[in-house]
Amino acid sequence: MDNGRRWWLIVVAGLVAGLYLFQSVGYEAGIALIAATIAGVVALKWYRKRNPPPGPSVRCVRCGTTLSATARNCNQCGSASWTYIN
């Protein structure tokens, strides 16, 4: 599916969802839900800006020692094998 069709589908789905929302809960409740959603997204962006999620840690495959992100080999066992651990 090319990008033009995908955006068209997303816009039509959003319009149908908006019409269904306003028809089922009413105008005032629909506006309140949209405002609450926007406030939630802004609050999440603000929280993530202040508290970014930690990245995956790099560990040695042989001994499990945590390595720095730029390490070439393990200081404990000398192995050059490493993996990401979430």
Domain enclosing residue 17, as ranges = 3-50
pTM above 0.85, yes or no: no
Instruction: Specify which residues 85 forms β-bridges with.
Output: 57
Mean pLDDT of the residues in the chain = 84
Whether residue 44 is found in the same domain as residue 59: no
Whether residue 81 is found in the same domain as residue 46: no
What is the spatial order of strands in the sheet that 82-85 belongs to?
Answer: 66-67, 57-60, 82-85
Which pLDDT belongs to residue 44?
Answer: 94
pLDDT higher than threshold 90 for residue 32: yes
Whether residue 43 is found in the same domain as residue 22: yes
Query: Average pLDDT in the 24-37 region?
Result: 91
List of residues 6+ apart from 61 with CB closer than 8 A: 79, 81, 82, 83
Whether residue 35 is found in the same domain as residue 60: no
Whether residue 40 is found in the same domain as residue 22: yes
How many distinct structural domains can be found in the chain?
2
pLDDT digits (tens, 9 = 90+) for 35-67: 999 999 999 999 999 988 777 678 888 887 887
CA distance 22 to 77: 64
pLDDT band with cut points at 50, 70 and 90 for residue 16: very high
